[in-house]
Amino acid sequence: MDKIKKCPWCNARIHIDVKTCSFCKKKVGKTVAGGIAQKPIDWRSYLICLIVWVVFILYIWWAFFR
């Protein structure tokens, strides 16, 4: 019997070695308890958020404190 895991987004059953769900096309990680795959960390979103905060802080400094 093939080992399977469930996609955390669409709940589809996929093979345990698959890195991308074939139904919703989103990346999946390793299997956790209950046979559900982990959602991978979206580092790009964290980086964009950090850049936006830095730009905002620089704008506040430029507008009010220089």
Span 12-54, pLDDT tens digits = 999 999 999 999 999 999 988 788 899 989 899 999 999 999 9
> Which one is predicted more confidently, 34 or 8?
8
Q: In which residue are the tokens 């980086």 written?
A: 47
Q: What is the pLDDT of residue 28?
A: 94
Q: Which domain holds residue 22?
A: 4-65
CA 63 to chain CA centroid, Å, is 35
**CA–CA gap between residue 60 and residue 57 (Å, rounded):** 5
Q: State the pTM of this model.
A: 0.64
Question: What would the two tokens of residue 60 be?
Answer: 């506040």
Q: What is the DSSP letter of 46?
A: H
How many domains does one find in the chain? Answer: 1
How confident is the model at residue 34, as a pLDDT? 82
| The predicted structure's pLDDT at residue 33 | 79
- Can you give the C-alpha Rg of the chain in angstroms? 19
